[in-house]
Amino acid sequence: MAARFSYPRAVRRLILAVTVPAAAAVAIQDNLYEITPVTGTSMSPTLSPDYNLTGRCDRVLWSKVSPSANLVRGELVTYRSPQRPDRTAVKRVVALEGDTVILDPRRRPGGVDRSSGREEADRTQAESWDQMGPKFEVPFGHVWVEGDNWRSSNDSNNFGPISKSLIIGHAPTIVYPWERMGTKPWEDRRRIGTRVVYGKQGVPPEGFRDMFE
């Protein structure tokens, strides 16, 4: 005798077939890996070098497993913007906690060369930059991030070092376009950016632990 068709059971199976993979995909994207396009020109020519001309952009794989652990100078990270928490940004880690950043006058908000075409930035950012310079030590629990294209980058020169708690992923590789799949062009350009004097990493300031005792 043939089994009778059960409409409610078929609906439940369909719902499970759709929701389980969807939930798994969301869990992976939120906690393990995510692929996002890198738009704009702040990381050019390292990433999306043709974006200005064609709108073509690289798609980067981000690892979200312990994103702020074992950070390395020169690697790429994606983080929540300290200015716009609803947005994420992609930049290069230039200096780690304890390092001393030798501020580059070209990267001053508003610039020093008016012929560069860079718009005058908010006066507050420029004043904050002046107060940091000419040398600035990255505080405990923070990193200094910059875009490779200093003429169009909104980075630590604008808002200071970012808390490592804002970092949501680091980049293992490019996944698209196909001819760039598996490459890490940022590893060939580690010397780009502000000069840095390496310091002691991960050493909390005196009295830091006392605040929690």
Q: Would you give the end-to-end CA distance of the chain in angstroms?
A: 74
SS3 for 83-109 is CCCCCEEEEEEEECCCCEEECCHHHCC
- Cβ atoms within 10 A of the Cβ of 111, count? 19
Kindly report the length of the chain: 213
- CB under 8 Å to 112, separation ≥6 — which residues? 105, 106
* Adjacency order of strands within the sheet including 195-197: 135-137, 100-102, 195-197
Q: Which of 77, 42, 73 has the alpha carbon at shortest distance from 57?
A: 42
Q: Are 43 and 148 in contact (CB under 8 A)?
A: yes
Q: Which of 190, 142, 186, 184 has the alpha carbon at shortest distance from 163?
A: 142
Distance CA 113, CA 212 (A): 46
- Active-site residue among 44, 48, 91, 164? 91
Known catalytic residue: 91? Answer: yes
Known catalytic residue: 184? Answer: no
Residues that are catalytic: 42, 91
